[in-house]
Amino acid sequence: MVTKVAIRIMALIIIGVLGLSPVMGEGTSQATPEDDSAVIVLEGPIQAINVNVITIANIQITLDNADPLLATLQPGDVVKVSAQINDAVDGGGLVADSVEWTGANILSPIITLRGSVQAVNVNIVTIFNLNIQFTPNDPVLADVNVGDILEVSGNLVAVGDTSAIIPVQVIIVVNVPAPGTPDDGSGVLINGFRVSFAGRVFNGTQTTFSYVVTGTGTPPDLSHFDVEIVTCSPELEVVGFSPSTAVSFGTDPTTGVDGIKWDIPLVTTESRLYAISFAGEVPLGQVTVAVKGGNGFESALLPGAGCSSSLVEIEKLISTDNATWQNADAIPGPELEPGTPVMFRFVVTNIGETTLTNLTLTDNMYDLSTCVVPDSLVAGAFFECMIGPFAADTGQHTNMATVQAVADGVEIQDSDSANYFGGDRPSIDLEKYVSVDQAGWQDADHAPGLDVDPDDESYFRFVVTNNGNVPLTAIALSDNILDTSSCAIPASLEPGAGFECVIGPFATTRTHANTATVTAIYQDLMVTDSDSAHYFTDDEQTDGPITIIIEGPVQAININIITIFNIDIELDPNDPILLEIEIGDIVRVEGTSTTSGNTIVIVAINIIIINIDIDDDGGVIIDDDDDDGSVVVPPPPPPSSGFSKDACKGGGWRNLRRADGSGFKNQGDCIQYANTGK
């Protein structure tokens, strides 16, 4: 049982210079429904009026068009507005519940807000990404914890280039357990950090286990955090984890924990959410967690992923001759001429230890009513079905089959996809690397990237490959910061061919992030790919906590920009999850805010799809409705390991080796290497 639960931010709206963002907390049982509503009361002079939108302290507030007060308001009038943060408003913003003309002599706006505490740093408390600056000796600071719901009233003042609230009155509406001595069932205190189990969530295709690690202000800082992955038969398949950086699998030589290790520092005044997801439905068990800090470590037992005796597996295969079958999970799959006869085969196996009943077999594109599905399936038994032939379509084809069953009263399921590509498949791949010596190159796709010395010089290497099946012409290579005109670019590229270019040296800056883009033409189609490179100087603080979490339905997708609650969230253009996300999916994003012109956007660091199964990576054709035809976003490059993560499944990891000849500890260790080469 856990009494302190990670706060889930269900909507985050960036408003003007304040960066207000609603936080709807799932705290302790003390919280009431109204505690989850983000309420803001703001009183101050009106800066501007645009139809029914007024601006106070650079915050835009939408009023009811029918409000008779609108006709009387003028810039300079002092009004008091009670408002909600409402994602239903186009572009986001505050929506006024009530507006009152006060005429008070107010020069500095007065603000009152209620929300969940995101961070506590000495005398600075953060709510809605807005800093509330207490006096260092304010006694209320001793009672405020991350996750508390506060109601704060105070003056809005400028602090450098940002704004802050100087509190006049503070009410703790909901107080979560303090991160000091743990209460019964609230987690464990190990090596100066409170570690709590934050829950198990099964979304129909995968099961996620989450943990909250919170500092107590007692040194030393955390250097890494371990969670055990228990050994099951069949083995648990890791399909996601958060944070997604500095992760390794296997036995930690320091703590002895065999599982996942996050090698990300956490200072004693911070809190972080860790999560690991497994394919299918995984029951609750008990695992060892460990915190390493300074010269020592401590470990403890907490709830976590357990082993199940009830499992079902489906394999979907594709063939053109009814003799040779391919498990074409990965996009694009086999390349076929349009019209080629295609057949599909479904093999369902009870890989658990209990009898399965109430079996159903479905496909998102094909009618499987001709398949004979047994009433029950004992452990180790299987059945299969074949449909087709069907004439191969032109372009990318992907369809998914799903089996559902009941074991010991529990519903279980598994899904598998099949892919093929009909006809010409133009595609191009770009990999961008960074180095300080032109010898050791790093594919630093994500911030912070390569750690460099302030006196170092930087070099960038671009590797372009035609990874399609047709020749490409009119090839162009550009960068949003660097001049690539010195690169020798061929007039055309045959399938499988490529070229590369190195530019530099350049003087280093404190932080650097730039994106290169390659384009090419096949007939009337333009294909493109982009890749980023990052570095930072080692005198910077780079391991700060993720500052923004947003969870909600996807409203729109524009290449690598997804929109949730009218907020644009920028993903890495090469992130394979872009090929899985669809409008309407519920996703969880962890990231940081940045500016683009006059607009504040969210840059995703970690992203998890909550309601759909994440399959293998690949390319997709996007129609942008312009005269250039379709834009083909190519699949990511082959894994640096030389084999796909599918090769690790079903015990295959035992027969695979790293480039240095060493083996793998478990399936998760193999998948990690397949995806990253590390």
**For the chain, what are the domain ranges?**
33-174, 188-305, 312-422, 429-537, 548-633, 645-676
Among 396, 431, 437, which Cα is nearest to 640's? 431
E strand residue ranges, 47-93 = 48-50, 53-56, 59-62, 78-85
Instruction: Quote the pLDDT of residue 100.
Output: 84
Average pLDDT over residues 316-338: 90
Rounded CA gap, 77 and 79, in Å? 6
pLDDT of residue 540: 41
Q: Distance between CA 161 and CA 597 in Å, rounded?
A: 16
Residue 367 has pLDDT above 60, yes or no: yes
Q: Mean pLDDT, to the nearest integer, of 539-549?
A: 48
pLDDT band at 59; cut points 50, 70, 90: confident
Question: Residue 96 corresponds to which tokens in the numbers above?
Answer: 């006024």
Tens digits of residue pLDDT in 628-673: 333 333 333 334 455 666 676 656 666 677 777 777 766 666 766 7
Nearest Cα neighbor of 504 from 436, 453, 441 is 436
Terminus-to-terminus CA distance in the chain, angstroms?
A: 36
User: Once rounded to an integer, what is the mean pLDDT over residues 533-560?
Assistant: 66
Asked, colleague to colleague, whether 188-305 and 312-422 share their fold, the answer is yes
Class of the CATH domain delimited by 548-633 = mainly beta
- CA-CA distance, 491 to 488, in Å (whole number)? 10
With b for 16 or more beta-carbon neighbours within 10 A and e for fewer, the 659-676 pattern comes to eeeeebebbbbbbbbbbe
Cβ–Cβ under 8 Å, residues 241 and 229: no
pLDDT score of 589 more than 50: yes
Enumerate residues 6+ apart whose C-beta is below 8 A from 492: 471, 472, 473, 475
pLDDT band at 62; cut points 50, 70, 90: confident
Q: Is residue 154's pLDDT more than 70?
A: yes
403 neighbors 347 (Cβ within 8 angstroms): no
pLDDT for 430 equals 93
SS (H, E, C) 466-501: CCCCCCEEEEEEEECCCCCCCCCCCCEECCCCEEEE
For 517-542, letters b (16+ CB in 10 Å) and e give bbbbbbeebbbbbbbbbbbbbeeeee
**What confidence tens digit (pLDDT) does each residue in 204-253 have?**
778 899 999 988 888 889 999 999 999 887 788 999 898 888 899 998 88
Amino acid letter for position 644: S
Model confidence at 466: pLDDT above 90: yes
pLDDT of residue 535: 86
Residue 102 has pLDDT above 80, yes or no: no
pLDDT for res 140: 80
pLDDT of residue 385: 95
Q: Which two tokens stand for residue 500?
A: 């590369």
Q: CB-side exposure of 579: number of CA atoms within 13 Å?
A: 21
Q: Indicate whether 565 pLDDT > 90.
A: no
Question: What is the token pair recorded at 288?
Answer: 């060892």
Decide if domain 188-305 falls under CATH 2.60.40. Answer: yes
pLDDT for residue 38: 45
What is the dotted CATH code of the domain comprising 312-422? Answer: 2.60.40.10
pLDDT of residue 434: 92
391 band by pLDDT with thresholds 50, 70 and 90: very high
More reliable by pLDDT, 79 or 646: 79
Q: In degrees to the nearest 10, what's the CA dihedral of 274, 279, 284, 289?
A: -30
Q: Is the pLDDT of residue 19 over 50?
A: no
- Between CA 163 and CA 542 the distance in angstroms is 23
Percent of the chain with pLDDT over 90: 24
What the block records as the tokens of 411 is 């519903």
Q: What is the mean pLDDT of residues 179-198?
A: 69
Choose the CATH number for 33-174 among 2.60.120, 3.20.20, 3.30.160, 2.40.50.
2.40.50
Span of 72-81, 213-222, 336-345 with lowest mean pLDDT: 72-81
Mean pLDDT score across all residues of the chain: 76
Q: What is the CATH number of domain 429-537?
A: 2.60.40
Given a cut of 80, is residue 545 above it in pLDDT? no
Of 113-127, 180-194, 434-448, 586-600, least confident by mean pLDDT is 586-600
pLDDT grade for 387, boundaries at 50, 70 and 90: very high
Tokens of residue 512, six digits? 């650097």
Of 41, 45, 17, 16, the residue nearest 107 (C-alpha): 45
Task: Give the long-range contacts of residues 589-592, CB within 8 A, separation 24 or more.
Answer: 589/548, 589/549, 589/550, 589/551, 589/564, 590/242, 590/243, 590/546, 590/548, 590/549, 591/546, 591/547, 591/548, 591/550, 592/546, 592/547, 592/548
Residue 415 pLDDT > 60: yes
The residue that leads in pLDDT, 88 or 388, is 388
- For residue 21, is pLDDT > 70? no
Interatomic CA distance for residues 185 and 177, integer angstroms = 11
Cβ-count burial of 387 within 10 angstroms (0-12 exposed, 13-18 middle, 19+ buried)? middle
The stretch 1-25 carries a mean pLDDT of 27
Return the CA Rg of the chain. Answer: 27
pLDDT of 229 reads 94
Q: Write down the pLDDT at residue 339.
A: 93
Tell me the C-alpha distance between 530 and 533, whole Å. 10
- pLDDT confidence tier of residue 580, bands split at 50, 70 and 90: confident
Residues linked to residue 630 through DSSP beta bridges, in sequence order: 623
Percent of the chain whose predicted confidence (pLDDT) is above 70: 74
Question: In this predicted structure, what is the pLDDT of residue 668?
Answer: 64
Show the tokens assigned to 481: 């910061």
Task: Name residues whose C-beta falls within 8 Å of residue 350's C-beta, 6 or more positions apart in sequence.
Answer: 311, 312, 356, 377, 378, 379, 380, 381, 382, 405
Kindly report, residue by residue over 269-321, the tens digit of the pLDDT: 888 889 999 987 788 888 999 999 887 888 888 999 988 766 788 999 999 99
452-456, 531-535, 622-626: which range is least confident on average? Answer: 622-626
**Which residue(s) pair with 652 in the sheet?**
none
